[in-house]
């Protein structure tokens, strides 16, 4: 009994458990728009090359347009045996318009169809992700700008999570701006590589029919047609590249999320979470928790997992199409959804987060943060770097032994460490003094950060016009 479009050589119907096991409809239904566009382009091409009468093409295109509306309205008659979105659309089309519907699949296989649909979907989502990233970058720029005005907000910069040197908050926020800028670059980079049409590759070997591949590629917005039919239907490196770009991106978001959690802790208190972007505890009435940031950090695992999953699925697959490839979709959909949602909540959180500049100010009153500036003071006076390092190291030890700050040591103690110290050393124990000095390109000095901010603004203007610097 032929209960399937491919059922000609079968006598018995598919077992129900097999239908359940093999169907991709529950997830590939998301490709319906791309599938319908792809079928319309294919049908028009079949009409143009004379493989299908134009009157049939018109019926096919109108039927597909109606199917798209029905799916959108939730009125599409999906049937239990539908193997995937491609089969479901073709079945209903043929039920509705008869013979013209049965001509649609001419010169085509689901193998080139699904490879085309998924590329179209990925290209579109890269555009959306680009906009999501841009919104977050704009928020970071706005907040950075706000904290560069007089006096700029300064906090300790850390290495090894130990206080190291004072840095403007703007510099810290803009660090994430540039990570996101590269993330956008990675997306555009893989977009350019995936931008080719597999349509016309058919099942694996191409087609003996006079298909016009250029025509469908142009209609679908691809910049070129693929070179090799075996490759086009069976590789999913474009999905892997996108997953890997998404993995890098969520790794960046996870680092920011982790800092958010630390900064919101009672130990740091550098930020206060806005009510709308925090959650409470069902037991402990005092709690205001950074669950958003924790979930972003936590969801990093599933995105990395999708990347590893698909790499493993592809490893060792012989050419060309194998059903294993159907496993390409869920991880990709999930990773894209995860990144889009994470970018959106992090944008909301960062547009409203309260930076506690007074707490940060208190933290930068730690004298040790200025040890490097004091060392450079000596270097500027001609003391060799290693001698200066040793001298200031000695001062740090003396201060620590005495249980005082570096700034409280006496002029004599400074003189004993190095004769190059003069009275002006007292000026160096100031965050504003410290950040005023570091003004070579890319540094944390206020003038340098202002310049950096201008570059950041220019970079996103460029991205906004679709002409990214990346």
Which residues of this protein are in contact with ligand ARG, per CB under 6 A? Answer: 24, 28, 84, 110-111, 114, 321, 323, 325-326
Catalytic-labelled residue, pool 265, 281, 400, 469: 281
Shortest gap between Cβ of 105 and ligand ARG (angstroms)? 12
Shortest gap between Cβ of 331 and ligand ARG (angstroms)? 13
Q: Cβ closer to ligand ARG: 268 or 333?
A: 333
Q: Cβ closer to ligand ARG: 105 or 252?
A: 105
Active site residue 281: yes
Q: Cβ closer to ligand ARG: 234 or 300?
A: 234
Active site residue 252: no
Catalytic-labelled residue, pool 17, 160, 266, 282: 160
Q: Cβ closer to ligand ARG: 28 or 56?
A: 28
3-state secondary structure the chain: CCCCCCHHHCCCCCCHHHHHHHCCHHHHHHHHHHHHHHHHHHHHHHHHCCCCCHHHHHHHHHHHHHHHHHHHCCCCCCCCCCCCHHHHHHHHHHHHHCHHHHHCCCCCCHHHHHHHHHHHHHHHHHHHHHHHHHHHHHHHHHHHHHCCCCCCCEEEEEECCEEEEEEEHHHHHHHHHHHHHHHHHHHHHHHHHHCEECCCCCCCCCCCCCCCHHHHHHHCCCCEECCCHHHHHHCCHHHHHHHHHHHHHHHHHHHHHHHHHHHHCCCCCCEECCHHHCECCCCCCCCCECHHHHHHHHHHHHHHHHHHHHHHHHCCCCCCCCHHHHHHHHHHHHHHHHHHHHHHHHHHHHHHCEECHHHHHHHCCCHHHHHHHHHHHHHHCCCCHHHHHHHHHHHHHHHHHHCCCHHHCCHHHHHHHCCCCCHHHHHHCCHHHHHHHCCCCCCCCHHHHHHHHHHHHHHHHHHHCCCCCC
Q: Cβ closer to ligand ARG: 235 or 373?
A: 235
Shortest gap between Cβ of 6 and ligand ARG (angstroms)? 8
Q: Cβ closer to ligand ARG: 84 or 196?
A: 84
Catalytic residues: 160, 281
């Amino acid at each position: 009994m032929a209960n399937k479009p491919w059922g000609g050589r079968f006598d018995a119907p598919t077992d129900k458990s097999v239908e359940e096991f093999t169907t991709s409809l529950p997830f590939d239904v998301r490709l319906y728009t791309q599938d319908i566009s792809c079928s319309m382009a294919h049908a028009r091409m079949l009409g143009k090359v004379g493989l299908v009468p134009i009157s049939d093409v018109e019926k096919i295109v109108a039927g597909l347009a109606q199917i798209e509306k029905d799916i959108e309205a939730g009125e599409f008659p999906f049937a239990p045996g539908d193997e995937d979105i491609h089969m479901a659309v073709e079945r209903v089309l043929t039920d509705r318009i008869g013979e013209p519907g049965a001509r649609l699949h001419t010169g085509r296989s689901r193998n080139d169809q699904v490879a085309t649909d998924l590329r179209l979907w990925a290209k579109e989502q890269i555009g959306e992700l680009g906009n999501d990233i841009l919104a977050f970058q704009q928020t970071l720029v706005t907040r950075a700008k706000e904290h560069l005005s007089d006096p700029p907000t300064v906090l300790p910069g850390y290495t090894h999570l130990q206080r190291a040197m004072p840095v403007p908050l703007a510099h810290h926020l803009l660090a994430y701006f540039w990570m996101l800028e590269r993330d956008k670059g990675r997306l555009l980079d893989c977009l350019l590589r995936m931008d080719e049409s597999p349509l016309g590759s058919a099942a694996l070997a191409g087609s003996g029919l006079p298909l016009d591949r250029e025509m469908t590629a142009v209609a679908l917005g691809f910049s070129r047609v693929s070179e090799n039919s075996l490759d086009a239907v069976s590789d999913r490196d474009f999905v892997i590249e996108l997953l890997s770009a998404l993995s890098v991106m969520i790794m960046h978001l996870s680092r920011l999320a982790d800092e958010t959690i630390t900064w919101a802790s009672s130990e740091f208190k550098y930020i206060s979470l806005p009510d709308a972007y925090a959650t409470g505890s069902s037991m402990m009435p005092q709690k205001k928790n950074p669950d958003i940031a924790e979930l972003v950090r936590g969801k990093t695992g599933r995105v990395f997992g999708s990347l590893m999953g698909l790499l493993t699925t592809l490893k060792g697959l012989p050419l060309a199409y194998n059903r294993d490839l159907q496993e390409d979709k869920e991880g990709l959909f999930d990773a894209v959804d995860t990144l889009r949602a994470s970018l959106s909540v992090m944008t909301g959180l960062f547009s409203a987060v309260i930076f506690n500049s007074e707490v940060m100010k208190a933290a930068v009153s730690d004298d040790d943060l200025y040890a490097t500036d004091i060392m450079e003071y000596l270097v500027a006076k001609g003391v060799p770097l290693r001698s200066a390092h040793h001298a200031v190291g000695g001062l740090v030890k003396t201060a620590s032994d005495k249980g005082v700050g570096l700034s409280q040591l006496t002029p004599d103690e400074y003189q004993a460490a190095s004769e190059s110290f003069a009275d002006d050393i007292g000026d160096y124990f100031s965050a504003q003094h410290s950040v005023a000095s570091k003004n070579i390109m890319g540094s944390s000095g206020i003038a340098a950060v202002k310049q950096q901010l201008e570059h950041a603004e220019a970079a996103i203007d460029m991205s906004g016009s679709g002409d990214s610097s990346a």
